[in-house]
Amino acid sequence: MTTLTDTPDRRQAAPMAPTVVQIALGDRSYPILIGAGLLADPATWAPQANRKSVALVVTNTTVEPLYAATLAQALSPHFTRVRTLALPDGEVHKDLANLNLIFDELLGQEADRRTVLYALGGGVVGDMTGFAAACYMRGVPFVQVPTTLLAQVDSSVGGKTAVNHPLGKNMIGAFYQPRQVVCDLAVLDTLPDREMSAGLAEVIKYGASIDIDFLGWLERHIDALRARDRAALAHAVKRCCEIKARVVGADEKEAGLREILNFGHTFGHAIEAGMGYGAWLHGEGVGCGMVMAAALSARLGLVDEAFARRIESLVARAGLPVRGPASLAPGRYLELMRVDKKAQGGDIRFVLLTGEGHATVRTAPEAAVVDVIAALTAA
């Protein structure tokens, strides 16, 4: 479990008017609100208001004492009643057993199809709440309220919901879009440094594989982001959401283009599963995975070695690991990567760089993959 700490000096910063990024998906379109002070403002939640329905805030035991009461109070003018369910905290609890706790609460409260679920937490809470919303009565509305940087820039946007299985990460799930995403930058003030760095992995991903200008901006502002500079965070979250909105709008269900957003994830998911969920944070696996994917790209002659080293340097500056765990052998990586969602017919497919800010999805010779893992494994 990760412990969050309150830092009042940061939380007293002046309110920030929200910026809106729109996800264009026809009748499933929705806004992403980015600003500070949004959580406590009842006006934020007016679009889903229904005085004849119930709101269920799904959170975890770490976030609940910090923000659940604030959100419940802001929601209370809009619903008949507001309930809160706190799940155990951590990736290790992202499974079917804990998903069932959400269904128990919904059925116990006789929730109907007008009930709105609010996912207040990081990626685990968001994925589980979204999956529950997709399944309950074959679909009820839900809203993403991400409280980690990783969730604000990535997992809360785009409608990918899932739980883990012991044999693979996010292998049981559904595409199901939220009605709204609310990114309150003020909640990042209570995020532990390790979680902040983990979120930066997903931020770096967008620059390395899609937007080279953004990568340059990150290199100049990575220290400000780690220090939680409000203006730097606002720009980074907005730019990441803009990129993801464009990709999701073109490929909602990951049939092609959207796979590029998994840069670093094939290696990263293998590390997470191989070490046991929760030993490495998702962003830590992705950070190290990006270093491995960039090195593999260079090994195959798809990108200059200098660019691969540039990615490694930025990942290290973000406070992320750039070497895989010594206890995980290359053969174990291969076993786990064969059950990755991008794998086809047992062939492992990687998101590899083809230039600065460009990527593609393709297979790679197994010998080259093994060599890269061996070279980038901690001694």
- Asked whether residue 147 is marked as a ligand-binding residue, the answer is yes
Does residue 299 carry a catalytic annotation?
no
Cα–Cα distances (Å) from 364 to 140, 163, 371, in that order, read: 41, 28, 12
Does residue 254 carry a catalytic annotation?
yes
- Asked whether residue 148 is marked as a ligand-binding residue, the answer is yes
Catalytic residue among 78, 160, 235, 310: 160
- Asked whether residue 110 is marked as a ligand-binding residue, the answer is no
CA–CA distance, 17 with 43 (Å, rounded to integer): 12
- Asked whether residue 169 is marked as a ligand-binding residue, the answer is yes
Catalytic residue among 202, 284, 312, 356: 202
- Asked whether residue 112 is marked as a ligand-binding residue, the answer is no
Does residue 269 carry a catalytic annotation?
yes
Catalytic residue among 64, 252, 254, 312: 254
Does residue 165 carry a catalytic annotation?
no
- Asked whether residue 90 is marked as a ligand-binding residue, the answer is yes
Does residue 160 carry a catalytic annotation?
yes
CA–CA distance, 6 with 104 (Å, rounded to integer): 32
- Asked whether residue 121 is marked as a ligand-binding residue, the answer is no
Secondary structure percentages of the chain, helix, strand, coil, to 5: 50, 20, 25
- Asked whether residue 282 is marked as a ligand-binding residue, the answer is yes
Residue 103: HSE in the Cβ half-sphere, 13 Å Cα cutoff = 13
The secondary structure of 73-122 as a DSSP string is HHHGGGEEEEEEEEEPPSGGG-SHHHHHHHHHHHHHTT--TT-EEEEEES
**Terminal-to-terminal C-alpha distance of the chain:** 27
Does residue 235 carry a catalytic annotation?
no
- Asked whether residue 205 is marked as a ligand-binding residue, the answer is no
- Asked whether residue 237 is marked as a ligand-binding residue, the answer is no
Does residue 265 carry a catalytic annotation?
yes
Looking at residue 364, the DSSP 8-state letter turns out to be -
H or E, element range at 286: helix 282-299
In the chain, the DSSP E strands lie at 16-23, 30-36, 50-60, 79-87, 116-121, 142-146, 160-165, 168-175, 180-184, 349-355, 358-363
Does residue 138 carry a catalytic annotation?
yes
Catalytic residue among 258, 299, 341, 342: 258
Q: Provide CB contacts within 8 A for 258, sequence distance 6+.
A: 158, 247, 248, 250, 251, 252
CB-CB contact of 40 with 73 (8 Å): yes
- Asked whether residue 342 is marked as a ligand-binding residue, the answer is no
CA–CA distance, 153 with 147 (Å, rounded to integer): 11
Catalytic residue among 265, 310, 342, 349: 265
Catalytic residue among 205, 228, 269, 341: 269
Catalytic residue among 51, 52, 138, 220: 138
CA–CA distance, 80 with 88 (Å, rounded to integer): 27
- Asked whether residue 341 is marked as a ligand-binding residue, the answer is no
CA–CA distance, 65 with 82 (Å, rounded to integer): 16
Catalytic residue among 282, 299, 342, 349: 282
Catalytic residue among 205, 235, 239, 244: 244
- Asked whether residue 127 is marked as a ligand-binding residue, the answer is yes
- Asked whether residue 160 is marked as a ligand-binding residue, the answer is yes
Catalytic residue among 262, 310, 341, 349: 262
Does residue 341 carry a catalytic annotation?
no
User: Residues forming the annotated binding site for Zn(2+)?
Assistant: 202, 265, 282
User: Residues forming the annotated binding site for NAD(+)?
Assistant: 89-94, 123-127, 147-148, 160, 169
Catalytic positions, written as ranges: 138, 160, 202, 244, 254, 258, 262, 265, 269, 282
User: Residues forming the annotated binding site?
Assistant: 89-94, 123-127, 147-148, 160, 169, 202, 265, 282
